[in-house]
Structure 1
């Protein structure tokens, strides 16, 4: 009987954007991102609030409208 090879966590395989979440309610989108990437935090921004200019590889930026609907592709940054 053989042993299964250990799972390898390759950072190249980690998701960095979620275009399929445009149009979702922001909290539902954040839940989906946390399922895909529990290692990052989600930052919420409402239009027309300026977005952060620094890059943070541990943050996903969610941009929503007045109805809290995602209006831009959530990305790491």
Structure 2
């Protein structure tokens, strides 16, 4: 019943919306993983303590990293 991009979840037709497995990864590697799972979204990088966007964007995954460019929070759609 899927149209495009429905293979990124666990096989139940739902698309992945968070990536807890990439916490601790270098941001670029995390972005590659996210793009592999969901090529239909873009990634946005924010270094702590930069404020995060307050608007919701279903086509954006927010990646929060520290000063070593390591992911410190679970990236999520938004």
TM-score relative to the length of structure 2: 0.85
Question: Which runs of 5 or more structure 2 residues have no equivalent in the other structure?
Answer: none
> RMSD over aligned Cα, in angstroms?
1.7
Distance in 1 between residues matched to 2:41 and 2:48, nearest whole Å:
22
Distance in 2 between residues matched to 1:14 and 1:74, nearest whole Å:
14
Distance in 2 between residues matched to 1:31 and 1:21, nearest whole Å:
10
Report which of the two structures shows the higher radius of gyration computed on alpha carbons.
1
TM-score relative to the length of structure 1: 0.86
Count, aligned residues: 71
* 4+ residue runs over 2 A deviation: 7-12
| Residue number in structure 2 paired with 1:62 | 63
Question: Which runs of 5 or more structure 1 residues have no equivalent in the other structure?
Answer: 1-6
Distance in 2 between residues matched to 1:42 and 1:73, nearest whole Å:
13
